[in-house]
Structure 1
Amino acid sequence: MQSRETYHRSDSSHSVRRQKRPAWRQHLVLTERGVVGGIRGGSAFFVHFFGCSIVLATGYVLALSLMQWVAVVLSMTIVLAAEMFNQALRAIVVDPEDGRIAPQAAKALGISTAAVMMTILGGLIVVGMIFAQRVSHFWAE
């Protein structure tokens, strides 16, 4: 069982008793903060979400099967996760005051950006193959 801790507010003499969050709940809070920080961290997510909305709408129109949806959603998830890793690395290596990057850090950032591009290309190939198969199925009818 989690222990109770007393948190003292520095702006007043009152002490506030709160339970410490359970580990699973703290993990969810950190996850939410990470997702929000990652999305707000760069404009690349706007492009990714715009592309995802186009892919989802096209998949709906083409009436994808369950396994095709699984492949499409997995491809989109991998791309978004790779972009979040890239944003996390960028937050570590880029100096927030002047934007400078150390030479070794620049190399790591370049590799992470290339990894994002590889996941995007792989996702485009998978989604393109699925959509091409569905379109050819419609033309065959």
Structure 2
Amino acid sequence: MLLPVIGLSRRADVAEVIGAGLVAGAAGLGHRRIAVLLDRPAATVRGWLRRFVGRAESVRAGFTALAVDVDAGTAPPLAAGSGFADAVAAVLAATAAVAAGWPGLALTVSPWRLAAAVSHGGLLAPADGGQLINTNRLWAGV
């Protein structure tokens, strides 16, 4: 089955909603408060946060590499205070690098759609779920 770029594998919510929860988690909010803000069940939000904690280092490394690969002038994001927050910052930095390289995309692609596309929908996949980052340089021919 093909997964649209707006979604993440095995998740009912679109990438932007999950991303908003991850950004709130990186800012220090707990799963119950995020659940209220996003109008989602607390157990669902808790699952997102727990799964992202387990993926944080590979997400940070992969999206930092993407940011630098797309825009060599991009400095890696500064440490944000936790592995979780560092990973969220790396996704945002990669999005900024893509937006700088292709200004028209900035209006249509959110950080979390980019994360869904680059991770093949596996941003919150189990750690042994295979490859996280798309290493194909799809932009190289543009």
TM-score range for the pair, normalised by the shorter chain length: 0.3 to 0.5
TM-score, with length taken from structure 2 = 0.37
TM-score, with length taken from structure 1 = 0.37
**Quick check: which one's helix share is greater?**
1
**Quick check: which one's strand share is greater?**
1
Q: Which structure has the greater CA radius of gyration? A: 1
> Higher RCO, 1 or 2 (CA under 8 Å, sep at least 6)?
2
